[in-house]
Structure 1
Amino acid sequence: MPNDSVAEFDNAMKSPAKWAFNLEKPAQGQHLKKEHSKPAFDYAPIKTGIEELMTIVVQKKKASVKEIASSLGWSQKQVEEVAKVLEKQGVVDVVYPASVISSPSVVLLKELQIEPQEKVDGLVLQQYDFFADFIPVHATLFKSRKENSTIYEIKTPFVGPYTHAFLEQLREEIAEKIPVELAEITDEKKSIQLKEKFFNVSKQELQAHIPGIDEKNLNLLAGRLLHSMYGLGRIELLMADNSLEEIAINSSKTPVTVYHRVFGWASSNIYLESEEKIANFASQIGRKVGREITTLNPILDAHLITGDRVNATLFPVSSSGNTITIRRFSRRPWTIVDFIGEKHTMSIEMAALLWMAMHYEMSVLIAGGTASGKTSTLNSLCAFIPAYHRIISIEDVREIMLPSYMRWNWVPLTTRNPNPEGLGEVGMLDLLHSSLRMRPDRIILGEMRRQREAEVLFEAMHTGHSVYSTIHADSGQQVLRRLIEPPINVPPLEVEALDLILVQFRDRRTNLRRTYEIAELESGVSAEQLAVNTIYRWRPREDDWDKVNEPSKLIQNLNLHTGLTQKEIGEDVFSRAKILEWMLDNRISEMDQVGAIMRLFYSEPDSIMAAAEKGVSPKRFLGLEQ
């Protein structure tokens, strides 16, 4: 590959608005304008000359290559090359005369029409723009007047029907030129290199076939070819939107459905043309993880190297048609600053208390219902762990992301499903036992589900490890019941090792997520009985939090392990709240920015506290000041 191409691709990979496969610097889908904005880009039709060429052919039904070349300002060879590509799509026929000195003719075989786009009748809720591999995308969310539902519409620069047919044929020819080995799609680094190869070859072929195409349109068309060859077609546009959590293909008869972070479920303006197309996408996903989905094995659960989780089913297991459900791995995880600020998930005082608990190695269990934000909360709290601690995380699907400064001593472990013969399974219990032999300071378990896993986890707490996990429950009292009653059934004396319970809640009416309560477990009237002491609780009508009780067990444990008095603990929480407020005021909300402040706090607490009190810009500490 030429050096210029290498440099260009390297720059594109570093750009925060173009590429998405770099998990260190997630790029795709960076929103450029929000909240009822006009499109930030020009979404006019892309000019390639192919539509103009075909306009001449459609008008005359038969036109000589010489005549077309003269009209377009192209060479006869360039016109002939484009016509040959369209000929393979059955659009035209290139007729060569008997005389070698005469010009070939292009004969129209099939006239292509522009498919009309149905206009959405509804109230605009939000608009924003983002990039998907050099393709600018304008997203609009509507409240449909007709169906009283949310509609998610995306627009990209328009490609004419003949240009589309040309790209379809070119895609097949490029795909034949690039052999793909299994290792190239299952290894993260090789996968990025393969994507680079597809993109550069696409650009070369487009430049060879379309005279005078400018760089912007060249990159845009190469991005389209990349999506159709290497990715999932127009689904890749959805994958680039960081506001989407889920993408669901329910059948070819219904639109692709998305779950938006703010507006919940919405139907999109994207359809897949056939059940076969959905099955092909499912097979493609399976190949990327070394598995296959067939009529004999019609269910696929896959964890992609990008972190996304995929479930696919084939007809007749899914009676309405083939399905694919993609849980997008968050390219930009929420942080504690998001939670106390824009998201209003918890109060600053609550966040400061949790920070103190995480700092001093208290074990925390995060509960809540489905989609209540359990894992997001767990992930945000992990940024409070000091960098000098060894962290082992265990998950079914990789969702935990830590700030970069903590990754040097972090071992992320993920479970593995058995192969079609039922061999090779690695479960959470296997990984839990293994993690205890890695000398961890902190153990993060994605979700506590089974009795034996819970028993090992509480044994780890009793042996001096700090443990963090999630569980499905709607209150502190329910967490206690789930832990001490079947099927988990952990003895109360073991459960007592848990320091804090944090309960997340999703309002089903407004789709807002809130921390419902923070509680601790205390000994009851006997050693076998435990009681829940609620420290903070959310008030739905006021959308605020009350401090219900003072933490009792937490203060005792902090006094035991740190020597801090109750007064000093209160002062410490107040100081941390000031720092969080300072970070919020200065919009320090990116994961690595939050991590950098935490790293400095643990090495120079007095200087960070002084900066927060004096209102010094955090950019000075982050190296961002000019």
Structure 2
Amino acid sequence: MSALLEDIKTFANRILAPPGRAKHTAIYEPEEEGDLVTFEAPEEYEEIERYWVDEPYAFICILLHREKRDYVYHVVEPKLNKFEKALLEQLFMELGDVISLKGVEDIDRLTDARKTELLREQVDRLISEYSTLRPRSFEKIFYYIKRDFIEFGQVSAIMRDSHIEDLWCNGVGIPVFVHHVAYSNVITNIIFHTDEELNAYVMRVAQNSGRHLSKATPILDTVMRDGSRINITYGSEVSPKGSSFSIRRQKKVPITPLDLIAWRTFTSEMMAYFWLCMENGKNILFCGGTASGKTSSLNAICMFIPMDIRIVTLEDTREIQLPHQNWIPTVTRDGIGANEVGAVDLNDLLKAALRQRPEYLLVGEVRSKEAQILFQAMNAGHATCSTFHAGTPREVINRFTNPPINVPLAMFTALNIISMQSSSYVNGVQRRRTSVVTEVTSNSDRVDLKEVFVWKPITDEFEKKESHILEQIKARHGWSTEQLKKNLQLKQLLLDKMLEHGIRDYNDVVSWLDAFRKNPDKVISLLTSGQPNQKDQK
């Protein structure tokens, strides 16, 4: 062991060698040196599937216990031998200046790919002086350096998995849990073993997001570098099991209306209805419980807003992503000190937004007093969409029109549509569905609700009913019933044909929707004639 430590010390002394030396670390060849990661499931488990999340460094194995029938989400990363572990620990202590990438003025503006490239160059130069280090060992060591300094540390592999929607660390010594789109809530093999390890992790996340975390302010809501939302509790004062965190993953590519149709959250007929409503400035609330798909539905349906419309979005944490150029995204800001000096809340953002002449106001989530200003905006003619936590349309009305929100009943009728989102079981599998779409009408001194689309859980089908909103739109445009019907049918046909041709990529969907607005007959002709060519849109 002393010889090993001596080797590490010798290497550490060479870390800050002058730049400009030639690279000597050979290229890793899997055929010659073997795979970086291998895994064989224990006898008591059946391997259901495995897939790469960071090839060739990390993959995921979904295991099923043969007796208990419980799933396990097993992260497989490179295993280090004693020498590699000791060398990695020494590098973590000595590479501070290298990791900070001296000579780069604004590291935060670099892409992760560029950071990785610069880091690899530096580490390669340093390790190349240690002639006994094989390329396979270099790659394993570099994986952990990159993972912990550029990516998301111990949960990096999970954060790379597009199948994961949420992940939760409930305390020290407790396995991290994830919500997998195919397997629901699953235990993982990732564990933070000590208070020091977990505290250091959440502190680093807070610092990287530019926020403050301490025993005085032990609760933090913030956004990670990739846009994912994280809630942190620090220490054991508010969380007896130790620090904890909950991450809501941000989709790298926004969900489109075509995705929601393919997943049967909505039907193409329902999407055509929402499309026409968005074009005509109707006010919509997407409501439901936690993780029911409220914001995803809001974001997708807002793609139907015409591209030249002026939009202002207001959020606590940045989630809404739009293709529109005439769009101002705004976010709240915490204040400084005990008096919260300089704080900017949704109420402040709403007041400022109304001075910017928006045609559409999109509010990430309405919770309290800002609802009154939101409904004032609706009554002043600003089209508005938002999300709200509630279980039923009637509960939405009751919560808005009673303390502590207290929106006057007369103002509430400016809301046109309530879309209830739910996370339900379909054939034993958890799926997101739009349980009911309800239109809001006023009748003397009360608010009435009229169902337009209702989900039937037994058949997993949607029942359509009459719509008074569509009648309003028909009257506004002076359309006949046939003209209204044709407008909706064309929109539905477009969505069906796009899905039929596999057009679900975000940029492609944006392009086809925009082309349809400009020349609907030509686009429909292209999509019904066979294999559509995007170049022919123009």
Determine if the TM-score, normalized by the shorter chain, exceeds 0.5: yes
Q: Is the 8 A contact 2:8 2:86 kept in 1?
A: no
State the AA in 2 paired with 1:501.
I
Cα separation, 2, equivalents of 1:415 and 1:200: 39
Q: Is the 8 A contact 1:243 1:261 kept in 2?
A: yes
Cα separation, 2, equivalents of 1:161 and 1:583: 55
Q: 1:244 maps to which residue?
A: 164
Q: What's the CA shift string for 1:242-269, capped at 9, x where partnerless?
A: 2212222222311122122232221111
Cα separation, 2, equivalents of 1:153 and 1:336: 33
Q: 1:488 maps to which residue?
A: 405
Q: Is the 8 A contact 2:101 2:119 kept in 1?
A: no
Going from structure 1 to structure 2, the CA distance change for 1:190 and 1:263 (only over 3 Å counts) comes to: closer
2:373 paired residue among 421, 435, 456: 456
Query: Is it true that 1:439 corresponds to 2:327 in the alignment?
Result: no
Q: 1:355 maps to which residue?
A: 275
Query: Is it true that 1:580 corresponds to 2:505 in the alignment?
Result: no
2:42 paired residue among 104, 116, 119: 119
Query: Is it true that 1:320 corresponds to 2:241 in the alignment?
Result: yes
Q: What's the CA shift string for 1:282-309, capped at 9, x where partnerless?
A: 1111212333323333223222342122
- Residue 355 of structure 2 aligns to a residue whose secondary structure is coil
1:262 paired residue among 167, 176, 182: 182
Q: 1:417 maps to which residue?
A: 334
Greater Cα radius of gyration, structure 1 or 2: 1
Q: What's the CA shift string for 1:332-378, capped at 9, x where partnerless?
A: 3322111111x221211111111111122222111111111101111
- Residue 418 of structure 2 aligns to a residue whose secondary structure is strand
Q: What's the CA shift string for 1:540-572, capped at 9, x where partnerless?
A: 01111111x2101x1233124333333212211
1:517 paired residue among 422, 433, 436: 436
State the AA in 1 paired with 2:383.
S
Q: 1:428 maps to which residue?
A: 346
Cα separation, 2, equivalents of 1:268 and 1:150: 9
Query: Is it true that 1:532 corresponds to 2:449 in the alignment?
Result: yes
Q: 2:292 maps to which residue?
A: 372
State the AA in 2 paired with 1:481.
N
Cα separation, 1, equivalents of 2:455 and 2:381: 32
State the AA in 2 paired with 1:581.
D
The offset of 1:212, in angstroms, is: 8.1
Alignment of 1:86-485 (within 5 A): 119=42, 121-131=44-54, 135-179=56-100, 187-189=108-110, 196-210=117-131, 221-313=141-233, 314-341=235-262, 343-403=263-323, 406=324, 408-421=325-338, 422-450=340-368, 452-485=369-402
- Residue 410 of structure 2 aligns to a residue whose secondary structure is helix
- Residue 453 of structure 2 aligns to a residue whose secondary structure is strand
Q: 1:49 maps to which residue?
A: none
Cα separation, 2, equivalents of 1:369 and 1:128: 31
Q: Is the 8 A contact 2:501 2:531 kept in 1?
A: no
Going from structure 1 to structure 2, the CA distance change for 1:279 and 1:542 (only over 3 Å counts) comes to: same
- Residue 159 of structure 1 aligns to a residue whose secondary structure is coil
The offset of 1:194, in angstroms, is: 5.2
Q: What's the CA shift string for 1:33-64, capped at 9, x where partnerless?
A: xxxxxxxxxxxxxxxxxxxxxxxxx9xx989x
1:590 paired residue among 505, 508, 524: 505
Going from structure 1 to structure 2, the CA distance change for 1:576 and 1:219 (only over 3 Å counts) comes to: farther
Query: Is it true that 1:500 corresponds to 2:417 in the alignment?
Result: yes
Cα separation, 1, equivalents of 2:498 and 2:413: 35
Alignment of 1:547-562 (within 5 A): 547=464, 549-552=465-468, 554-562=469-477
Q: Is the 8 A contact 1:299 1:312 kept in 2?
A: yes
Q: Which runs of 5+ in 2 are unaligned?
A: 15-38
Identical aligned residues as a percent: 28
Q: 2:22 maps to which residue?
A: none
Alignment coverage as a number of residue pairs: 511
Going from structure 1 to structure 2, the CA distance change for 1:283 and 1:195 (only over 3 Å counts) comes to: farther
The offset of 1:581, in angstroms, is: 0.8
Cα separation, 1, equivalents of 2:268 and 2:59: 35
Going from structure 1 to structure 2, the CA distance change for 1:179 and 1:187 (only over 3 Å counts) comes to: closer
Q: What's the CA shift string for 1:457-514, capped at 9, x where partnerless?
A: 1221222211000111223233233333333232232222222221111116632110
Q: Which runs of 5+ in 1 are unaligned?
A: 1-57, 64-78, 89-115
- Residue 354 of structure 1 aligns to a residue whose secondary structure is helix
Q: Is the 8 A contact 1:206 1:222 kept in 2?
A: no
State the AA in 1 paired with 2:486.
E
State the AA in 1 paired with 2:409.
P
| TM value normalised by structure 2 | 0.86
Going from structure 1 to structure 2, the CA distance change for 1:375 and 1:137 (only over 3 Å counts) comes to: same
Q: Is the 8 A contact 1:363 1:499 kept in 2?
A: yes
Cα separation, 1, equivalents of 2:446 and 2:75: 56
Q: Is the 8 A contact 1:188 1:305 kept in 2?
A: no
Cα separation, 1, equivalents of 2:306 and 2:175: 46
Going from structure 1 to structure 2, the CA distance change for 1:361 and 1:203 (only over 3 Å counts) comes to: farther
Q: What's the CA shift string for 1:101-137, capped at 9, x where partnerless?
A: xxxxxxxxxxxxxxx9972734545432222xx6542
- Higher deviation after alignment, 144-153 or 351-360: 144-153
State the AA in 2 paired with 1:253.
G
CA RMSD of aligned residues (A): 3.2
State the AA in 2 paired with 1:228.
D
- Residue 87 of structure 2 aligns to a residue whose secondary structure is helix
- Residue 245 of structure 1 aligns to a residue whose secondary structure is strand
Going from structure 1 to structure 2, the CA distance change for 1:163 and 1:539 (only over 3 Å counts) comes to: same
Q: 1:7 maps to which residue?
A: none
Cα separation, 2, equivalents of 1:82 and 1:186: 29
Cα separation, 2, equivalents of 1:120 and 1:385: 55
| TM value normalised by structure 1 | 0.75
State the AA in 2 paired with 1:500.
I
Cα separation, 2, equivalents of 1:158 and 1:125: 22
Q: What's the CA shift string for 1:598-624, capped at 9, x where partnerless?
A: 11112222211222332342544589x
Q: Is the 8 A contact 1:175 1:229 kept in 2?
A: no
Cα separation, 2, equivalents of 1:136 and 1:384: 40
The offset of 1:280, in angstroms, is: 0.6
Q: Is the 8 A contact 1:360 1:558 kept in 2?
A: yes
Cα separation, 2, equivalents of 1:444 and 1:486: 23
Q: Is the 8 A contact 1:244 1:328 kept in 2?
A: yes
Cα separation, 1, equivalents of 2:478 and 2:50: 53
Q: Is the 8 A contact 1:302 1:311 kept in 2?
A: yes
Going from structure 1 to structure 2, the CA distance change for 1:160 and 1:618 (only over 3 Å counts) comes to: farther
Q: 2:463 maps to which residue?
A: 546
Q: Is the 8 A contact 1:432 1:456 kept in 2?
A: yes
Cα separation, 1, equivalents of 2:107 and 2:289: 33
Cα separation, 1, equivalents of 2:43 and 2:347: 50
- Higher deviation after alignment, 223-232 or 436-445: 223-232
- Higher deviation after alignment, 469-478 or 537-546: 469-478
Going from structure 1 to structure 2, the CA distance change for 1:129 and 1:289 (only over 3 Å counts) comes to: closer
